[in-house]
Amino acid sequence: MSCLIEVDHLSFQYADGHQALKDICLHVKHGDRVGLVGPNGAGKTTFFLTLAGVIDNFTGALQVAQCDLTTPEGRKAVHRKLGIVFQTSDDQLFNASVLEDIAFGPLNMDMDKDEAHRRVNQAMESVGLSMDFKSRLPFHLSGGEKRRVAIAGVLAMNPQVLLLDEPSSDLDPRGRRELIEILNSLEMTRIISTHDLEFVLETCTRVILFDEGRLITDGPAQEVLSNQELMLKHGLEVPRSLI
Amino acid sequence: MKAEIEHYARQDSPIHRWDARWKLASLIIIIFTMAAVRRTDVALASLIISATLVILCRLPLSLIMRRLGTLHIFLVPCFIILPFTASGNPVSIGPITISIDGTIFALTLYLRALAIVLASIALLYSTSMSLLLRAAERLYAPRVLIQVTLLTYRYIFTLANELTSMRWALATRGFHSQMNWRTYHTLANMVGMTLVRSLERTDRIYRAMQCRGYNGSMKTLHQFATRPSDYLICAACIITAVLLLLADTCMVG
């Protein structure tokens, strides 16, 4: 199957000198369900921001859905192909109503209003939000509802790749279970960055482990997460269900 | 923290149904006219017009009284000070001498302020804030200003929730607000922390906007539609404003 994401010797250093990503090489194919794990400060979020075209001064080669992210045109075009759900939903829901928020992406893609409405309805349906939510205000929603709206806002843009940064944080068990069901019902390629390794086991087939900006290992989820020595060495624990 | 305005903006009334652009333009004309009147009887007429608008909005009396109560914090001092300080015909009531002109001026000011606030309540509580701002954008208000206001309005509630959480965190650790340096120092830290968090949040919000294709404009799905009744109500408002001004100018003259 063809590659959707091609990362070749990717490195990035913040302005304060902190080297967040060091010589990362990896490929993600269409339909892959990847879990990105690692301790705090491993470079997971920076990697996501680089894939999303937000960070531009990296070195190496990076292609996402045929967009060359080393060029400004590529970084601009990638927004139509890749969707990112941020850790804090409040940061992502910046419009005054749920409808306006989900429609934000489609309207930026210059869709006409009828098509944008259709996309909004479709996205709300796929995350199990009833149409009554359209007029709701984002700041009146619960944590789980906010997360669903944030995902719907990204799905409405019909991306080829979905990136989720700590999607299960701040969710109660029911919200977490519902999110797992939503994610498993989606067909698209996705990368989930999280500390919740049980969540990774339930939603991903492949795991990439980052530590101190380096790619440590890349393999089948069960195999990587059950390696106790590897997990402990990089500040993680084997999920209880694998012990 | 709940957005009270949004709750009432979802109700139904002739004022709620009025197209937001026409409503904003018409009521701004009315409000500016009311601010310009100088005669007490014309100010009273303005108050009656504003009260009619509020009645048409079908807003609860308790809400109006609450809002007007806040206004009186500013108006009562004027009523106390102006009769004694303004120049004009003095009248003695026992040992106290007050100025008739000052009293009339205070009354006019009071009526005018009430009229303006009531008209503003009719405008703000009959339209959701996002729609009102979108309407202002259509009326050629600066786009950047509209976007900043939209985002401020969205995040003011998040910020308020954060401040409440911080207050609770302080209370659970035995902090009691007192008139001393320790209190000022703690509160200043709290405000500083809120500002730092806001700055970091701004960065994250901008990134989230960029990732969803933000290119300088925040488009909306809302379609404004003008009905014949919108023209009629707007014309009625303009005629009312002109009549108020004529009455005020002619009678003063």
| CB contacts < 8 A (A, B) | 95
SS3 (DSSP) at A1 = coil
| Residues in a beta bridge with A161 | A82, A189
Measure CB to CB from residue A100 to each of B201, B212, B220 and give the nearest one.
Answer: B220
- B210, A79: Cβ pair inside 8 Å? yes
Eight-state DSSP code of residue A78? G
In this predicted structure, which of A200-204, A214-218, B103-107 has the lowest mean pLDDT? B103-107
A96 vs B2: CB contact, 8 Å cut-off?
A: no
Per-range mean pLDDT, top range of A188-192, B77-81, B153-157: A188-192
Mean pLDDT confidence for B68-75: 89
Judging contacts by C-beta atoms under 8 Å, the chain B residues touching residue A140 are: 2-3
DSSP of A214-238, one letter per residue?
EEEEEEEHHHHHT-HHHHHHTT---
Quickly count: other Cβ atoms within 10 Å of residue A126's Cβ.
16
Q: If we measure between CA atoms, which residue out of B249, B240, B196, B30 comes closest to residue B122?
A: B30
Asked if pLDDT for residue B1 goes beyond 60, the answer is no
Verify whether the Cβ–Cβ distance A135 to B129 is below 8 Å: no
Going by pLDDT thresholds of 50, 70 and 90, the confidence category of residue B252 is: low
Mutation site, B2, B128, B212, interface A, largest A CB count within 10 A: B212
- Nearest 5°: the CA angle B117, B121, B125 is 170
Among the partner-chain residues A91, A96, A157, the one whose CB lies closest to the CB of B129 is A96
Which chain A residues touch B200 with a CB distance below 8 Å? none
Q: pLDDT above 90 covers what percent of chain B?
A: 50
Q: Which of A94, A153, A154 sits opposite B205 (nearest CB)?
A: A94
Q: Provide the shortest C-alpha distance from residue B218 to chain A (in Å).
A: 7
Q: ipTM score here? A: 0.77
Given a contact cutoff of 8 angstroms between Cβ atoms, the answer to whether A134 and A169 are in contact is no
Is A156 in CB contact (< 8 Å) with chain B?
no
* pLDDT over threshold 80, residue B43: yes
pTM: 0.80
> Are the beta carbons of A84 and B211 separated by less than 8 Å?
yes
Higher pLDDT, A210 or B95: A210
Q: What residues of A are in contact with residue B209 (Cβ under 8 Å)?
A: 94, 104
Contact status of A109 with chain B (Cβ, < 8 Å): yes
- Say yes or no: B249 contacts chain A, CB-CB below 8 A: no
Q: What is the pLDDT of residue A35?
A: 96
Go through chain B and tell me how many residues it has: 253
Question: What does the pLDDT look like over A119-141, one tens digit per residue?
Answer: 999 999 989 899 999 988 888 88
Mutate which of A75, A88, A90 to test chain B, going by most B C-beta atoms within 10 A? A90
Residue B207 to residue A86, Cβ atoms within 8 A: yes
**CA–CA dist A131, A125 (Å, integer):** 8
Measured CA to CA, the distance from residue A224 to residue A231 in angstroms comes to 8
DSSP-based three-state secondary structure for A178: helix
Q: 3-class SS at A76?
A: helix
At B17, list the tokens.
Answer: 């149904």
Which parts of chain A are beta strand (E)? 3-13, 19-29, 33-37, 59-64, 67-68, 82-85, 161-165, 189-193, 206-211, 214-220
Q: Residues of A81-107 as b/e, b for ≥16 C-beta within 10 angstroms?
A: bbbbbbbbbbbbbbbbbbbbbbbbbbb
Choose the closest CB to A108 out of B3, B208, B215.
B215
Per-residue pLDDT, averaged over A49-72, amounts to: 93
Q: How far apart are CA A22 and CA A41, in angstroms?
A: 13
Percent of chain A with pLDDT over 70: 100
- Identify the weakest region by mean pLDDT among A142-146, A227-231, B2-6: B2-6
Q: Is the dihedral of CA B194, B198, B204, B205 positive or negative?
A: positive
Contacts of B20 in chain A (CB under 8 A): none
Q: Quote the crossing angle between the two packed helices B100-124 and B61-85, to the nearest 10°.
A: 160
Which pair of structure tokens corresponds to residue B183? Answer: 């209190």
pLDDT at B165 over 90: no
Contacts of A146 in chain B (CB under 8 A): none
Q: What is the mean pLDDT of chain B?
A: 89
- Residues B23-42 have pLDDT tens digits of 999 999 999 999 999 999 99
- The answer to whether the beta carbons of residues B208 and A91 sit under 8 Å apart is yes
SS3 assignment, position A21: strand
DSSP code, position A63? E
On chain A, the residues whose CB falls within 8 A of the CB of B210 are 52-54, 79
The residues pairing with A67 across neighbouring beta strands, listed in sequence order, are: A64
For B152, the token pair is 């401020």
Contact between A190 and A163 (Cβ < 8 Å): yes
Chain B, nearest residue to A99 by Cα? B221
Tell me the mean pLDDT in the region B136-153. Answer: 93
pLDDT at residue B125 greater than cutoff 60:
yes
d(CA B56, CA A80): 46
- Region B81-100 average pLDDT: 82
Q: State the SS3 of chain B.
A: CCCHHHHHHCCCCHHHHCCHHHHHHHHHHHHHHHHHCCCHHHHHHHHHHHHHHHHHHCCCHHHHHHHHHHHHHHHHHHHHHHHHHCCCCEEEECCEEEEHHHHHHHHHHHHHHHHHHHHHHHHHCCCCHHHHHHHHHHCCCCHHHHHHHHHHHHHHHHHHHHHHHHHHHHHHCCCCCCCCHHHHHHHHHHHHHHHHHHHHHHHHHHHHHHHCCCCCCCCCCCCCCCCHHHHHHHHHHHHHHHHHHHHHHHHHC
Which pLDDT score is estimated for B171?
A: 78
Range A133-156 average pLDDT: 90
Task: Kindly state whether B153 is in contact with chain A, defined as any CB-CB distance less than 8 angstroms.
Answer: yes
Say whether pLDDT at A243 is over 60: yes
Mean pLDDT of B225-230: 90
Contacts with B214 from chain A: Cβ below 8 Å: 104, 108
> Does the beta carbon of B151 lie under 8 angstroms from any beta carbon of chain A?
yes
Q: Check whether A1 has a pLDDT greater than 60.
A: no
A139 contacts in chain B (CB < 8 Å): 1, 3, 154, 157-158, 161
A70 — pLDDT class (breaks 50, 70, 90): very high
**Shortest CB distance from A94 goes to which of B3, B154, B222?**
B154
Is residue A175 helix, strand or coil?
helix
Torsions phi, psi for B2 (to 5 deg): -110, 150
What's the residue count for chain A? 243
Q: Answer whether B129 touches A (CB < 8 Å).
A: yes
Mean pLDDT of the A56-65 span: 94
pLDDT band per the 50, 70, 90 thresholds, residue B88: confident
From the list B130, B204, B210, which residue is nearest A96 (CB)? B130
